[in-house]
Structures are given as structure tokens and as C-alpha cells.
């Protein structure tokens, strides 16, 4: 059997941590090590981890002396792994018993793949909400296997369930969780993986994603928005030369929307016009122009001057259609 290194970042999840650890220990696939890195929890998480480490030699625990953030915690954990494959599990999520066995069988056939699965959404008590992870992210019809880079960047964010992912440890030589990002580091990591590796999706829910009051997005929406802006800027910087103008325009529009929600109207207008300049036939051009008019900016006049010939050509091409109607 091939050794799988399971990496579990831990922070203040004393209520859910035992069930999460047990879901790894109870796997039908037995050749694994469980690396738990606690990011200076202030509850009883460290005591729980230490107790489990004493009971099972497959558990290797590490404790930060100060809080360093989830990205640093994950990077530290993966760097300590010894297995051929690395699987990730949040300390408030749960695996089904057959999770590793089914995914390793896929990797045995093609170990170049990034394997992930559907997830079941549960509440704080562990009860099913009746929704799946991809449904929650409006990704039922998204491409989930093969080259999914473009699909990850379009729509409603990261639809790859992080606690279901398993991949070759060698891939970590070139890719790290971005420590500049507080909340979107997992999204950036998946995007980076998808740029150079194919994904394989298992439609069975092999893990459970828990929603509870301590989920970060429910506690700090403004920081999430600022982190989102950093994410899109990083992607534009790293991949801007290799993605289409339409994709760049889409990402700029995301930045503009986020800036607008923070009250940075002038910056949002500038970003929206950059998006229109790259893709003047965007379906949301009208919304951008209305935003500029309502918020007040003479750059809209400059935009019309710059694109006057193009707009006249469009109007001319549409005039016969208008006459027929």
C-alpha cells in the first residue's frame, strides 16, 4: 500500500475536533499518517490533539506558539509529510470511512490527477442540510474533471471541496498556500494546481462540510471582501499574460464590484472601465455605465469618445433589425 499523509490544520474547534480525527482513524484504507498542526488554539484543542497522539502512533502533532494563520499552518503541515499523496481535512469537517480507499484507487490508475469528491453539507450538530457542496456553490453544471482552470475563475468562487482533495506530495514543491491571503488561500491553491494539473471528480459525497457560527465568512465579511480583491489582483498578475481579454475583463469586474461594496466608488469606476476596454461587448456593460452615471464621473465621457467608432458600428449593424421590428 502507498502511504497517504493527511494534513489537518486546527484552530479553536474543540467541539468538532474529536469527530474529525476519528473520521481519519476509522478509514478503511489504513496506510496513512495524520499530521495535525494547531495554530495556537485558545480552547482545549491542543489537549484533545495531545491525547489522541498518545493513543495512535500514526498521529504526529505540531503546535504553533503564536497564531500564524491558516495558510502558514497548511504549509507547515504539508512540509512535514512523508507520504506519496497528501490529503487535506479541516478540523471541523468529516470523512466517510471509504474516502481514502476510493480516491487512492483512482490515483493508482493515474497518479498525475488531483482527485476530489462531492461533499455533504451538515450543520453544527452534524445533521444534513439536504444540500451538496457543489450545489451550495452553484456548480452543478460546472466542469469538474480535466482542465478546470477557466471554470474555477468564473462564477461563484471555489467549487472544489478542500476537505476532499488528495494529490501527489511532489506538487507541493512548486505550489504553496498563499500566505498573503487570509481567507482565499485555499481558492488560490486550487487555481494554481488547476493551471498545470488535471482534476478527477468523484460524484459520491465522500466528506462532510460543516456550517456553523464560527465559519470565518460569517464573522468578518469586510475582510473577506478585501481578501477577494487581493486574490483577483494576484491571479491577474500571475496569469494575466496567458488568459484571454474576456477573462481579464471578468476578473477586473469582480475587483470593481468588491471595491464598490467597500465604498471605493472612484476605484470601482476605474476598474469597470478597464474591464469594458478589454471586452466592450460584455453583457454587463450597461450596468457598468449606469453605475458610472449614477456615481458621477467624467471618465464616462472619455469612454464614449474612445469607443465612439465602435459604438456607431454596433448601432449601424442593429438598425436594420430595429426597423424590422
**Residues 179 and 194 placed together within one structural domain of the fold:** yes
Write out pLDDT tens, residues 208-267. 999 987 655 556 788 999 999 999 999 999 999 999 999 999 999 999 989 988 999 888
Residues 201 and 226 in one domain: no
Check: CB of residue 40 under 8 Å from CB of residue 64.
Answer: yes
**Residue 103 is part of which domain span?**
4-212
- The last residue of one of the domains, among 190, 212, 234, is 212
Asked if 206 and 230 sit in the same domain, the reply is no
Percentage, residues of the chain above pLDDT 70: 85
Are both 119 and 262 inside the same structural domain? no
Alpha-carbon distance 272 to 267, whole Å? Answer: 9
Q: Could you tell me if 38 and 183 lie in one domain?
A: yes
CATH value at residue 81: 3.90.550.10
Residues 147 and 22 in one domain: yes
Cell numbers 499530521 correspond to: 35
The predicted model scores a pTM of 0.86
Q: What are the cell numbers at 226?
A: 478585501
Model confidence at 321, in pLDDT bands (50, 70, 90)? very low
Of 177, 212, 247, which residue is a domain's last? Answer: 212
39 lies in the same domain as 154? yes
Question: Does residue 230 share a domain with residue 90?
Answer: no
Kindly tell me if the per-residue pLDDT of 302 is higher than 80: no
Q: How many domains does the chain have?
A: 2
Tell which residue, 126, 173, 133, 179, has the closest CA to residue 157: 133
Please give the biggest Cα pair distance in the chain.
Answer: 81
> For 129-180, what is each residue's pLDDT tens digit?
999 999 999 998 899 999 999 999 987 789 999 999 999 999 998 899 999 9
Q: Judge if 223 and 208 occupy the same domain.
A: no
Amino acid at each position: 500500500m502507498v502511504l497517504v499523509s493527511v494534513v489537518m490544520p486546527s484552530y479553536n474547534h474543540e467541539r468538532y475536533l474529536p469527530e474529525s480525527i476519528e473520521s481519519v482513524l476509522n478509514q478503511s484504507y489504513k496506510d496513512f499518517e495524520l499530521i495535525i498542526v494547531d495554530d495556537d488554539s485558545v480552547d482545549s484543542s491542543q489537549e484533545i490533539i495531545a491525547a489522541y497522539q498518545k493513543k495512535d502512533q500514526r498521529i504526529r502533532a505540531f503546535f504553533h506558539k503564536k497564531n500564524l494563520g491558516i495558510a502558514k499552518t497548511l504549509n507547515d503541515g504539508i512540509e512535514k509529510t512523508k507520504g506519496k499523496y497528501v490529503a487535506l481535512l479541516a478540523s471541523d469537517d468529516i470523512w466517510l470511512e471509504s474516502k481514502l480507499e476510493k480516491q487512492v484507487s483512482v490515483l493508482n490508475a493515474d497518479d498525475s490527477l488531483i482527485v476530489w469528491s462531492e461533499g455533504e453539507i451538515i450543520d453544527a450538530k452534524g445533521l444534513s442540510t439536504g444540500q451538496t457542496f457543489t450545489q451550495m456553490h452553484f456548480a452543478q453544471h460546472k466542469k469538474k474533471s480535466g482542465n478546470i482552470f477557466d471554470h474555477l475563475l468564473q462564477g461563484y468562487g471555489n467549487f472544489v471541496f478542500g476537505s476532499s482533495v488528495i494529490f501527489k506530495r511532489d506538487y507541493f514543491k512548486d505550489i504553496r498556500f498563499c500566505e498573503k491571503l487570509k481567507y482565499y488561500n485555499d481558492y488560490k491553491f486550487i487555481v494554481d494546481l488547476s493551471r498545470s494539473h488535471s482534476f478527477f471528480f468523484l460524484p459520491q459525497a465522500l466528506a462532510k462540510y460543516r456550517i456553523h457560527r464560527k465559519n470565518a465568512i460569517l464573522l468578518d465579511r469586510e475582510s473577506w471582501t478585501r481578501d477577494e480583491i487581493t486574490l483577483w489582483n494576484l491571479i491577474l498578475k500571475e496569469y494575466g499574460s496567458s488568459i484571454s481579454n474576456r477573462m481579464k475583463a471578468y476578473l477586473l469586474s469582480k475587483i470593481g464590484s468588491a471595491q464598490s461594496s467597500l465604498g471605493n466608488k472612484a476605484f470601482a469606476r476605474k476598474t469597470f472601465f478597464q474591464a469594458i476596454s478589454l471586452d466592450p461587448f460584455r453583457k454587463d456593460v450597461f450596468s457598468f455605465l449606469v453605475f458610472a452615471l449614477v456615481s458621477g464621473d467624467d471618465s464616462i465621457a472619455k469612454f464614449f469618445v474612445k469607443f465612439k467608432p465602435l459604438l456607431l458600428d454596433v448601432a449601424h449593424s442593429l438598425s436594420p433589425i430595429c426597423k424590422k421590428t
